[in-house]
Structure 1
Amino acid sequence: MRLAKVTLIVLLAAIILCGCSQPVEKLPAVKVEFMHYNISGTHLLKINYAKAAYINKSEAPERIYLPSDVPFPGIHVFAYTSKGVTPITWVPIETEGDNITAYIGFRSPEDVPKEGEVLIVVVDAVDRMGRSYATDSTRIAWNPE
């Protein structure tokens, strides 16, 4: 009898916990991994890979910028789609390493590419006047995992 009560309490607790948990919100994004180094004023920049993905909301950049309000200097990460240019993800120009990850987001659900659409992904290290120190680009098909 005692085992039945304990089992019932555990079962009820599990049902309550399952009912209270919310699904993790996933957002469409382009995941870009790149390398950047500044060696004596010469910037080296290369995209390691880029891919379409659905990411947890917690992975999304805190802020994305329109071209009119993006900070300079910086590393600007964005993509060209059939609907124009995505918002820009800004990474501080001082960031260096082999595996820097940034996510490109979209303004609205209507701006998310259609399955198979080709995007041109750009990573551009720019000075305070907006001139490019170094840039790299790649093409990807919008086929999220």
Structure 2
Amino acid sequence: MKTKPKFSLVLQTEAADPKKAYQHFMGKLEFETDVADLLIDLKKGCEQFTIIDVRDPKSYEECHIPGAHSLPTNRINTETTPFLDKQKTLITYCWGPACNGATKAAAKFAELGFRVKELIGGLEYWRKENGEVEGSLRKEAPLYWKM
């Protein structure tokens, strides 16, 4: 016979007030987008954003989201960004959820005055959700970064 637990690990910290929770989750959406939303917008022909692959040039050459521009995180500065339209939102992506390159890139772009969102899951989840890819190796390219 199962005994009922005396306490809950989930509820050890009380859930937030609904108004506070709403503000928190809406705040997250200001900074992130997901693969499904990007796929749908691209299929609809939405041109209100620019996709930026922030991985190294070789990885970009092998496999990237169609139409994405290559601009590695460590090369983002005022000299490398004049081609970008500040009227469009930038969507940054890196390898996957274990990679913070897109987060670092988003911070740099924001500091330079760009509106920006990070693609949750990066290229890993883009590929897992059957997003099209371009490049010399396409779907045969490594799924994860290697040293």
TM-score, L = length of structure 2? 0.27
More strand by share: 1
More helix by share: 2
Larger radius of gyration: 1
